[in-house]
């Protein structure tokens, strides 16, 4: 056992002599073994990961799995969730670092810029990371990681998952932070063209370094099943969090209008949130208890079982970067009606979705049309819709395109400190630029201090679970991995 | 009785020595010993404390400060030698009996604990966040008396002399050796 492990690690031993001597900090980190084999050692950083549930979390997980399948090494860094801290392994040797960083607000860590440096440096050095991939602009840890990675001389990629305004205070502050962290990020990924436009404007970026890679759904999870439908009536399904952003007030306006016109119409609403009270009031006022069913919070695995019960999927969002829900609805073979906001018009071809303006009357018109189509039997069969959607968005495709982004980012030079400071000053304005330059200098000095206290060469090189020379499939982990997991 | 001695460094880069003794095919002992307390460092700390005391004495003209400084250095040194400075740690493995862990402090104080074989589930190399770094360490997993498949406690071995792995050397020669040696012994 000892022999095998020895062989596995020596294969990719960092050889400082063959590394380009561009910056002193990057010497040991640039691992030639990875660059020669065209494989990357990727660290995904975000505040949001399992056990928290949502779009960003599943995006990171699915993307990582597909990249591992392609032979890259992937580790994930996030903050500790309650009892879940330390190092964990998920399927196929996906390694997750739950770092003990203090959570401030809404599962996001504090942005002090410095307190996360020792641990993140440790992760980057011991895993011999070549690309740092940060996710979500809501995540302070992602911003920190981009900043520290640049200080350490690593290439960075950022994925933005949401649309932002420009007017309120929190947006103004986040946008300023985003400008500073993205101004020397090598490449940025957005989930739709609308999101790209938004990000370019918010962070004052060159549009050439922003790519669009949409999200994906697992088509095998969302298969149609017409036998679950009750064909004596028409069911409209809504699955979303019940919050203002998702247009629940509009939904509250639509329900009484349509229910009065069509006696065989019923609503099935899944999800939980502060706007639930609006729907309950409507149900009470118009005596629609038998026709509007509120299911409450749904687990991700139960979503499909709810979707297949309906004929029409309704999405009333007021803002959306890329709507996963309508793809899931269409994949289950439902007719989709949605508001025309944000990136939604890009998501599905016109024959699969009916788009309306975000007003009660427009959505009612759209729904009427679809209901008429459904009654006349002209609507395409669920199986036909599923076949069409199945090939549109797959995670393998997303991983392939992300791989190209990594290749492109890895070819770019990392700016040395003086050039980086100049860029910060010219990009972020005089005042903010100076502040961020100051922070960058302090960060650099802090890194020097850490390198003196805990030199890189004393840090243990971690055993690769995934990637070239990964130990996951070689039988070693089958015996030991179980115990390592359980020990935390 | 075969004895081997090798030199390694711990995670802070300080040199440590590992020696393993084979008393019989069923009994082995591993000892990790760290460097002795260096006279230079002791003198440096004492002189810093005393210089500070003299500076305070110069300002306040109170002789109690000087005697206080002498007591502080003496008691500090005693406590350090008695509670902090570990001279060597020993791991004694006896087949079908168990594992004995003992650490000897510089003052000669010894703390020993014994774990019988029936309580041991496995010996593994674990990975954990320790202070501001992430380290590998060797540990014993103890069985949970209630749930036969569960783990109740993780006992780290050699907590002071945690070994470092250099990129240049082979991966964890000592720990992999231990794993190879302990396996047939314990099962």
Closest residue to B167, CB basis, from A5, A13, A87: A13
Contact B104, B88 (CB under 8 A): yes
pLDDT above 70 (res B160): no
Strands (DSSP E) found in A297-394: 312-315, 335-339, 353-356
Ramachandran area for residue A196 (φ above 0: left; ψ -120 to 50: alpha; else beta): alpha
For all residues of chain A together, what is the average pLDDT? 84
* Domain residue limits, chain B: 2-37+85-180, 39-83
pLDDT above 50 (res A32): no
H or E segment and range at residue A250: helix A248-261
Tell the CATH superfamily of the A226-393 domain: Glycogen Phosphorylase B; (3.40.50.2000)
- Predicted pLDDT of residue A34: 62
- Determine the distance in angstroms separating the CA of A299 from the nearest CA of chain B, rounded to an integer: 28
pLDDT digits (tens, 9 = 90+) for B94-119: 888 888 888 888 888 898 989 888 88
- A370 pLDDT band, cuts 50/70/90, is very high
H or E segment and range at residue A103: strand A103-105
Mutation site for B-interface testing, chosen from A5, A84, A487 by largest number of B Cβ within 10 Å:
A487
- Predicted pLDDT of residue B185: 31
CATH architecture of structural domain A41-216+406-458: 3-Layer(aba) Sandwich (3.40)
pLDDT digits (tens, 9 = 90+) for A204-225: 888 999 999 998 888 888 889 8
H or E segment and range at residue A265: strand A265-270
pLDDT above 70 (res A470): yes
- B154 and A486 in contact by Cβ < 8 A? no
User: How confident is the model over B49-76, as a mean pLDDT?
Assistant: 90
pLDDT above 80 (res B6): no
- Predicted pLDDT of residue A9: 35
Q: With both helix axes pointing from N to C terminus, report the angle between A193-203 and A169-182 in degrees, rounded to the nearest 10.
A: 90
Residue whose structure tokens are 């669009």: A212
pLDDT above 50 (res A5): no
Domain with CATH 3.40.50.2000 in chain A: 41-216+406-458, 226-393
- Predicted pLDDT of residue A379: 84
Q: What is the four-CA torsion angle of A314, A318, A324, A326, rounded to 10 degrees? A: 20
- A122 and B171 in contact by Cβ < 8 A? no
Mutation site for A-interface testing, chosen from B131, B154, B171 by largest number of A Cβ within 10 Å:
B171
CA dihedral sign of residues A173, A177, A178, A180: positive
Q: Which residues of B touch A (CB under 8 A)?
A: 9, 11-13, 121-122, 124-129, 132-136, 139, 141, 151, 154, 164-168, 170-173, 176-177, 179-180
- Residues ≥6 apart with Cβ < 8 Å to B132: A118, A119, A122
Could you give the CA distance from residue A74 to residue A39 in angstroms, rounded to a whole number?
11
pLDDT above 50 (res B166): no
- A25 pLDDT band, cuts 50/70/90, is very low
ipTM higher than the 0.95 cut: no
Query: Which residue, among B94, B84, B102, B92, has the nearest Cα to B29 in the 3D structure?
Result: B92
Q: Which residues of B touch A118 (CB under 8 A)?
A: 132-133
Alpha-helical segments (H) within A297-359: 303-307, 324-331, 344-347
Could you give the CA distance from residue A428 to residue A289 in angstroms, rounded to a whole number?
55
pLDDT digits (tens, 9 = 90+) for A139-181: 889 999 999 999 999 999 999 988 877 778 888 888 888 888 8
């Amino acid at each position: 056992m000892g022999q095998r492990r020895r062989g596995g690690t020596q294969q990719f031993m960092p050889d400082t002599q063959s590394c380009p001597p561009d910056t002193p900090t990057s010497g040991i980190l640039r691992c030639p073994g990875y660059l020669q084999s065209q494989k990357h050692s990727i660290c995904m950083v975000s505040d949001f990961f399992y056990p928290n549930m949502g779009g960003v979390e599943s995006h990171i997980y699915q993307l990582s799995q597909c990249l591992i399948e392609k032979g890259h090494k992937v580790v994930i860094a996030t903050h500790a969730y309650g009892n879940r801290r330390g190092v964990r392994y998920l399927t196929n040797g996906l390694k997750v670092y739950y770092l003990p960083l203090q959570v401030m607000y809404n599962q996001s860590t504090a942005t002090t810029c410095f307190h996360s440096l020792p641990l993140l440096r440790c992760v980057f050095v011991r895993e011999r990371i070549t690309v740092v991939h940060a996710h979500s602009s809501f995540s302070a840890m992602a911003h920190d990681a981009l900043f520290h990675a640049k200080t350490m001389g690593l290439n960075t990629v950022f994925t933005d998952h949401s649309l932002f305004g420009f007017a309120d205070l929190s947006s103004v502050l986040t946008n300023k932070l985003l400008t500073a962290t993205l101004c020397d990020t090598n490449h940025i990924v957005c989930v739709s063209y609308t999101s790209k436009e938004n990000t370019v404007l918010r962070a004052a970026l060159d549009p050439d370094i922003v790519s669009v890679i949409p999200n994906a759904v697992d088509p095998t999870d969302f298969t149609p099943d017409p036998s679950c439908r009750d064909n004596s009536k028409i069911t409209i399904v809504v699955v979303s969090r019940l919050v203002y952003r998702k247009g629940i007030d509009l939904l509250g306006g639509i329900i009484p209008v349509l229910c009065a016109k069509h006696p065989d119409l019923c609503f099935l609403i899944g999800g939980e949130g502060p706007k639930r009270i609006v729907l309950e009031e409507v149900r009470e006022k118009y005596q629609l208890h038998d026709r509007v069913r509120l299911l409450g919070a749904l687990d991700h695995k139960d979503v499909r079982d709810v979707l297949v019960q309906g004929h029409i999927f309704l999405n009333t969002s007021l803002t959306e970067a890329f709507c996963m829900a309508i793809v899931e609805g269409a994949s289950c073979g439902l007719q989709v009606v949605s508001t025309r906001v944000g990136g939604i018009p890009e998501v599905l071809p016109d024959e699969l979705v009916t788009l309306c303006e975000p007003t009660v009357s427009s959505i009612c018109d759209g729904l009427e049309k679809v209901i008429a189509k459904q009654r006349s039997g002209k609507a395409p069969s669920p199986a036909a819709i599923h076949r069409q959607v199945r090939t549109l968005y797959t995670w393998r495709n997303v991983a392939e395109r992300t791989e190209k982004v990594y290749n492109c980012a890895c070819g770019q030079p990392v700016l040395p400190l003086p050039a980086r400071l100049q860029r910060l000053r010219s990009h972020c304005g005089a005042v903010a630029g100076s502040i961020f330059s100051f922070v960058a200098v302090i960060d650099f000095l802090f890194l020097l201090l850490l390198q003196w206290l805990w030199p890189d060469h004393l840090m243990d090189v971690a055993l690769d679970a995934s990637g070239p020379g990964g130990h996951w499939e070689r039988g070693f982990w089958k015996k030991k991995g179980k115990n390592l997991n359980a020990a935390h | 009785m075969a004895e081997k001695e090798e030199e390694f460094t711990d995670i802070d880069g300080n040199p440590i020595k590992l020696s393993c003794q084979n008393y019989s095919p069923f009994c082995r002992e591993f000892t990790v010993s760290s460097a002795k307390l260096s006279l230079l460092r002791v003198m440096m700390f004492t002189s810093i404390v005393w210089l500070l005391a003299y500076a305070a004495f110069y300002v306040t003209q109170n002789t109690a400060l000087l005697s206080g400084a002498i007591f502080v250095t003496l008691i500090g040194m005693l406590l350090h030698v008695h509670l902090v400075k570990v001279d060597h740690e020993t791991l004694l493995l006896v087949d079908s009996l168990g594992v004995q862990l003992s650490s000897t402090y510089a003052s000669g104080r010894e703390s020993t604990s014994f774990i019988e074989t029936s309580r041991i589930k496995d010996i593994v190399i674990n990975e954990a966040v320790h202070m501001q770094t992430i380290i590998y360490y060797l540990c014993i997993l103890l069985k949970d008396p209630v749930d036969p498949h569960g783990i109740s406690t993780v006992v780290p071995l050699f907590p002071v002399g945690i070994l470092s792995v250099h990129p240049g050397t082979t991966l964890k020669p000592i720990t992999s050796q231990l794993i190879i040696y302990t396996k047939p012994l314990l099962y």
